[in-house]
Amino acid sequence: MGTARKLTRAGRNIAWIEAYCRVPEGRLVGRPVKLSPDQKRWLHRIYDSPTRTFILSMGRKNAKTAFSAFILLLHLCGPEVKPNSQILSAAQSQDQAAVLFDLAAKMVRMSQELSACVIVRDTLKQLVCPELGAVYKAMSAEAATAYGKSPVLVIHDELGQVRGPRSQLYEALETASAAQEEPLSIVISTQAASDADLLSVLIDDALSGADPRIKVELYVAPLDADPFDEDTIRKANPHYDVFMNKVEVQRQASDAKRMPSMEAGYRNLVLNQRVEATSPFVSLSVWKANGKAPLDEAFAEGDVYAGIDLSARTDLTAVVLAARYRGEWHIRPYCFTPLQGLHERARRDRKPYDVWVEQGHLIATPGGTVDYDYVAEFLMGLSASTNWTAAGYDRWRMDILLAALQRQGAGETFLETFHQVAQTTKSMDPALDLMEGELMEGRVRHGMHPVLTMCAANARVHRDSSGGRKFEKATQTGRIDAMSALGNAFSVAVSTGVREADAQLTAEVW
């Protein structure tokens, strides 16, 4: 006579969820939960080997919150419960904090067995198991209320909404868990906007494998894949063919394809890519559509407009050439950074500056600051080797560069080609209009230069009350220097005039 196979810890938990939990919402509401193969695999990863932190990141509407609720109930009144224990969930807003509580409360109320042992306290956003003294509470980002807690389980809901590498609430809860012998943290979220945000830092650390107790399941669509193809969507959505509303997802894809302003949000929330959900100045698809390499003859035969952005001496200084040639704009950026401290800045900004220097995409000047004499000499070389027409600059620190140009022997004729570009919405709006129109029409060739592409991804626009625009950064560490320089080049092109042959085209863009 055969014997029943002994269940693993995860197997026991899976059996409990499917025996006592009910589907809380949707077309299957009220039916017993049937976990998907992916959900079962996640539970095995969490419970069948030592786990301190489990990070689960995928697109929206994959039942992330429901999965969190299953884990919560396992530790509140299921096989994982510990007497007199605290369970916490954390979110960045009160509304988001209420989502997980509401879903777990529905599961309790819909199950005769669970409702018999769990009390729902709606006003306090608490679930209590009196018999065992276990308490769950939903919290939002009032970090002071987290101190004094000692949770056995913390669920960080939508941690990707945190901007920057730190969160007071996250740190308070993680340090509070240290009092427990085997604390468990669950992070469930779509990806953050940038590499420098907290969730991205945690995911990258988990992917490094430095601590085997920190585990990650990351479902993300490749940036170079067709964002609107069904196979691409599947890569970021493990439940696309299980219980997701395919019609709704395809509608979102269609909207994003038709309206570029919606593409960034679609990429972040549906494809789970590290893309700012608020629209950049130029969408990734439009930028890539203009990715042909510039032609060398354009800089010798076309009108060459230079844009200069000097930034701080330890950051990026950018000189970008925009050559108008045969109805297209040919873009060639030159970006400078100090050699000293290069690796530290690469780690700080989470960008491969050191690799770009080796590849020739970024120019490292000797010393700990950008050497303006080096830049001045470089500019004079560019003016001699191209059909230099005019240069636009932001006045900040330009007095230092102009002095360096004079030291290098720049003549008055060359210096007279330099024009100040006021960094105001009134001054920059015509340049941004021209640049945007040319990009949308596919009349720009930038060669996907990695530093310029990084800056384009970080560039947002600030609008004044009359709708005028100028560039601003998406994040504190998001560099936009090369795009600012490109904007200055287009601005000086507008103010000094393009060739008469292009006058009608420019008027149409405006």
Walk me through the domains of the chain, giving residue ranges and CATH numbers.
9-218 (3.40.50.300), 221-279 (no CATH), 287-509 (3.30.420.240)
From CA 157, how far away is CA 139, in angstroms rounded?
10
Distance from C-alpha of 283 to C-alpha of 114, rounded to nearest angstrom = 48
Residue 487: Cβ-neighbour burial (10 angstroms; 0-12, 13-18, 19+): buried
Give the whole-angstrom CA distance, residue 298 versus residue 331. Answer: 9
List of residues 6+ apart from 477 with CB closer than 8 A: 194, 196, 348, 349, 350
Q: How high is the pLDDT of residue 385?
A: 96
Distances (CA, A) of 234 to 36, 126, 216, 226: 15, 36, 18, 12
For residues 91 and 188, the answer to whether their CB atoms sit within 8 Å is no
In Å, how far are 101, 192, 245 from 58, measured between CA atoms?
Answer: 21, 11, 15
Residues in the chain predicted with pLDDT less than 50, given as ranges, are 1-3, 143-144, 499-510
Tell me which amino acid residue 70 is: F
40: three-class secondary structure by DSSP: helix
**For the range 1-6, what are the long-range contacts, defined as Cβ-Cβ under 8 Å and sequence gap of 24 or more?**
none
Q: Which two tokens stand for residue 218?
A: 């990351």
Measured CA to CA, the distance from residue 173 to residue 179 in angstroms comes to 11
CA quadruple 296, 300, 302, 306: dihedral, nearest 10: 90
d(CA 397, CA 313): 9
By the 10 Å C-beta count (0-12 exposed, 13-18 middle, 19+ buried), 456 is classed as buried
DSSP 72-104: HHHHHTSTT--TT-EEEEE-SSHHHHHHHHHHH
Distance CA 322, CA 493 (A): 9
Write down the pTM of the prediction: 0.62
Name 436's Cβ contacts closer than 8 Å, sequence gap at least 6: 281, 282
The structure tokens 């990695």 sit at: 450
Contact residues for 44 (Cβ-Cβ < 8 A; gap 6+): 8, 10, 11
Spatial separation of the C-alpha atoms in residues 323 and 445, rounded to whole Å: 10
Q: What is the pLDDT of residue 261?
A: 65
Burial 242-277 (b: 16+ CB within 10 A, else e): eebeeeebeebbeebeeebebbbbbbbbbbbbbbbe
Given this model, what pLDDT does residue 263 score? Answer: 83
Angle at 126 between CA 124 and CA 132, to 5 degrees: 140
d(CA 388, CA 371): 23
